[in-house]
Structure 1
Amino acid sequence: MKVLTKQCGVALIEVMITVLILSTSLLGLAALQNKALQYNHSAYMRSQANVFAYDILERMRANRPNISSYEITVNATTPTTSSSRAGKDLIEWRGLLADKLPEGTGGISCDDENNCTVTIRWGEQDASSADGKTSFKYMTRI
């Protein structure tokens, strides 16, 4: 007669498989949460850039006769002092960009018909450009 033996270790294998599935699911959930935080931060930076673009455009509208004084390239250095209203506005605006956006800077260009483009650039981890900066452009007529 044969003696039948019980199977040993089946429950341990089931527990190990369950832990493997659970840990894989939790890692996927953590990666999803991380991406959601990155996208939320990126949206916040874009919202800030939008507010700063509106800010300088409203300053330009308030000083409409001197619109050409507001023109500045993105890579230009910000002057430290100015006696004109446009110069003071640019100094304050570029200071806000530098304070509120990482590596934030901005530029303004206008054509003869008072169509102005505000360009704001800042550094971001997942930026699509080669230099790691995100660019935001806002165009309007003053």
Structure 2
Amino acid sequence: MNNTLKQQTGVGLIEVLITVLILSTALMALAALQTRSLQYNSSAYLRSQANIIAYDAIEQMRTASPAPSGGGAVVEPDIDALAALLPGGTGEIECAARVCTVSISWDEPTANQDGDANEETTFAYTSRI
């Protein structure tokens, strides 16, 4: 009986070490998941802001431009001032035959495979004025 007790010494410690290893791996995965979640949330916020800015620019053009039957030119708002609300934001408006496209580009903080800290994202919104 004394011989079997000596063989079992330290087994509990190994079980505890394996449990700690599994638990630490799970916590690291949970932290990575939380980090990615925050990154995607930030990306969705920037895209929503770009959508609001583009829609606002289109509405400004609709209210400021004369009626289509009058044949007047489309009055374009200062899209760069609006796009400056985004990080590294720039904007462009192109109108042809009263169909206008508002393009907004901004630098989105990401960790892509190239190791760059930012990635340029573009949002385009087209509407008839």
Partner residue of 1:122 out of 86, 106, 118: 106
The superposition leaves residues 36-84 of structure 1 with CA deviations (integer Å, 9 ceiling, x where unpaired) of 11111111001000100011111111121331x52xxxxxxxxxxxxxx
Report if the CA contact (8 A) 1:124-1:133 is conserved: yes
| Cα distance in 1 between the residues matched to 2:43 and 2:119 | 13
In the superposition, the TM-score normalised over structure 2's length comes to 0.81
Q: Which residue is equivalent to 1:34? A: 35
- 1:66 equivalent in alignment to 2:50: no
Is 1:13 the counterpart of 2:14? The answer is yes
Q: Does 1:109 align with 2:108?
A: no
Q: Whose strand proportion is higher, 1 or 2?
A: 2
Aligned to 1:138: 125
Question: Which whole-Å CA distance do the structure 2 matches of 1:27 and 1:102 have between them?
Answer: 30
Paired residue total: 117
TM-score, normalised on structure 1?
0.74
Question: What does residue 47 of structure 2 align with?
Answer: 46
| RMSD, aligned CA | 2.2
Distance in 2 between residues matched to 1:96 and 1:106, nearest whole Å: 8
Question: Which residue is 1:4 aligned to?
Answer: 3
Shift of 1:125: 2.3
Shift of 1:126: 3.0
Q: Distance in 2 between matches of 1:35 and 1:49?
A: 21
Provide the rounded CA distance (Å) in 2 between the counterparts of 1:11 and 1:140.
69
Deviation at 1:127, TM superposition (A): 8.4
Percentage of identical aligned residues: 52
